[in-house]
């Protein structure tokens, strides 16, 4: 019985996540209501508050869950024999795709801050948006796999490198989101240019 109850809880959370992101994308943060989200998710209005204290918490929870899901799905789809730079770009691509589809979610999550105040680096929302630690962990796993394949120099600090790569991504994401045009391929090309310089310094047999 406890297993069924836990499965039901997970399934409700997933419905709430989808409904929250859909309604926020359609109406924006101010116009969205928890009552409408509950109705879209097919749960009682009070059920929402079993998962989040208020609309802000609900939004952060839903967005965090979505970004974690993107991280895990992208990581699971990586091919270990790909060059390291390709694995990193493939891992980060779904985030560009997500934000290109939902720029209004980004604006809502910044609480009407200036457009260049990237949701994933906002200190006011820490430790909410972006699940930095989760993304950094996955990037570290990619680098460790490269190290095991003798691609990454073994003496390097993998966790530090993962943090640097994530910082570069977040900075480029900030500029990309603030641009008039958010072309995914253009954004990834600029990201690749910078990451290539990092990868060149950490991969055996390459020079920066």
In the chain the beta strands, taken as DSSP E runs, fall at none
Backbone angles phi, psi at 179, to 5 degrees: -75, 155
Q: Are residues 40 and 59 in the same domain?
A: no
pLDDT class for 41, splitting at 50, 70, 90?
very high
Of 127, 11, 141, the C-alpha closest to 71 is 141
- How confident is residue 178, by pLDDT bands cut at 50, 70 and 90? confident
Percentage of the residues of the chain whose pLDDT score is greater than 90: 44
**Which domain range does residue 22 map to?**
1-51
Q: Are residues 26 and 65 in the same domain?
A: no
pLDDT digits (tens, 9 = 90+) for 63-80: 888 888 999 999 999 988
Give the residue with greater pLDDT, 86 vs 56.
Answer: 86
* Model pLDDT, residue 162: 94
> Comparing C-alpha atoms, which of 132, 111, 112 is closest to residue 121?
132
Token pair listed for 26: 């359609």
> What is the model's pLDDT at position 149?
78
**What confidence score (pLDDT) does residue 60 get?**
86
Position 207 in a domain: no
Backbone angles phi, psi at 51, to 5 degrees: -110, -25
CATH number at 171 reads 1.10.357
């Amino acid at each position: 019985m406890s297993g069924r109850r836990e499965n039901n809880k997970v399934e409700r959370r997933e419905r709430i996540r989808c409904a929250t992101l859909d309604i926020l994308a359609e109406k924006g943060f101010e116009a969205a209501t928890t009552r409408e989200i509950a109705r879209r998710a097919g749960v009682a209005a009070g059920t929402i508050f079993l998962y989040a204290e208020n609309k802000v918490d609900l939004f952060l929870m839903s967005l965090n869950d979505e970004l974690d899901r993107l991280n895990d799905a992208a990581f699971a789809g990586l091919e270990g024999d790909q060059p390291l730079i390709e694995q990193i770009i493939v891992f980060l691509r779904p985030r560009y795709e997500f934000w290109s589809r939902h720029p209004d979610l980004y604006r809502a999550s910044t609480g009407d801050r200036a457009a260049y105040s990237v949701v994933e680096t906002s200190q006011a929302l820490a430790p909410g948006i972006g699940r930095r630690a989760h993304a950094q962990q996955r990037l570290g796993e990619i680098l460790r796999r490269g190290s095991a394949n003798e691609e990454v120099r073994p003496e390097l600090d993998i966790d530090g490198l993962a943090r640097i790569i994530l910082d570069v991504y977040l900075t480029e994401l900030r500029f990309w989101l603030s641009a008039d045009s958010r072309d995914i391929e253009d954004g990834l090309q600029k990201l690749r240019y910078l990451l290539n310089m990092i990868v060149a310094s950490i991969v055996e047999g390459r020079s920066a």
